[in-house]
Amino acid sequence: MKKFDLELEALQKTLVKMGERAEQIVELATQALKTNSGDIEKEVYKAEDKLDQMQIQIDQEVVRLLTVYTPVATDLRYVLTVSHVTSSLERIGDQAVNICEAIRLMQDRSNSPPQPRVLQMAELIKEMLNKAMAAYISKDASQVEQTIGQDDLIDSLNDQVVRELLSDEVVKEALIGPRDIASALSQILIARAMERIADQACNICEEVYYLVRGDDIRHPTG
């Protein structure tokens, strides 16, 4: 095996570890949502710092490989895909932190439990990220379409959460009485962060498709 191939293999292993870290962060954030635990938030911050460090490490290695070997064709696609997936994983970590910050706001100002649709979104984003990374590891483009299709459900749930939590009735009650508006706003922020995590999982799937098939499906036409 050529030295370049060995270094690509090592790079993939590092990226897989980063994916595992991102999945752990999302699991922690959704666990905090279910348990309303502030202790988990500290774990998320620590894990997200590690995710940032891994991104820097991978980006530096990507630049080195491009500079030293000037790869072409499939090898170039592989290296570029690593860079793009790394960026998506880092953004997922950022959104997990946003979820925890919104949970803290909800804890400080409200005793209301999360809406069922918010909890449903939490389970879906974990599944989508798991499938996206599994597709990347196995280089299986056939898994991509189903995972991307789940994003439509996430978008629909997010819209429903916003409509229900900020209905005209809720807003009026908040203006004239002690309506718990803090919980509603916090859950909208949580749903928005989860919707963005789903978007990043889709981005990873699109990168897998590009890597395996050589087709860019990010902006379909026709």
- Asked if residue 158 is part of any domain, the answer here is yes
Q: Name the burial class of residue 148, with classes exposed (0-12), middle (13-18) and buried (19+) by CB atoms within 10 angstroms of its CB.
A: buried
- Asked if residue 37 is part of any domain, the answer here is yes
- The highest-confidence range among 38-42, 104-108, 152-156, by mean pLDDT, is 152-156
Q: Name the burial class of residue 162, with classes exposed (0-12), middle (13-18) and buried (19+) by CB atoms within 10 angstroms of its CB.
A: middle
- Domain holding 40, by residue range, is 3-213
**pLDDT the model gives residue 105:** 85
- Asked if residue 131 is part of any domain, the answer here is yes
CATH number, domain with residue 42: 1.20.58.220
**pLDDT the model gives residue 220:** 60
pLDDT digits (tens, 9 = 90+) for 172-202: 666 565 556 778 889 999 999 999 999 999 9
Say how far residue 31 (Cα) sits from the centre of its chain. 15
Nearest CA to 76 out of 222, 218, 211 is that of 211
- CA 115, 44, 186: angle at the middle one, nearest 5? 30
**pLDDT the model gives residue 170:** 63
- Asked if residue 218 is part of any domain, the answer here is no
- Asked if residue 221 is part of any domain, the answer here is no
Number of folded domains that form the chain: 1
Say what the pTM is: 0.92
Q: What is the DSSP string of 116-155?
A: HHHHHHHHHHHHHHHHHHHHHHHT-GGGHHHHHHHHHHHH
pLDDT digits (tens, 9 = 90+) for 77-100: 999 999 999 999 999 999 999 999
- Asked if residue 25 is part of any domain, the answer here is yes
**pLDDT the model gives residue 61:** 97
- Asked if residue 222 is part of any domain, the answer here is no
- Asked if residue 164 is part of any domain, the answer here is yes
In the predicted model, is pLDDT for residue 106 greater than 90? no
pLDDT band at 111 (very low <50, low <70, confident <90, very high): confident
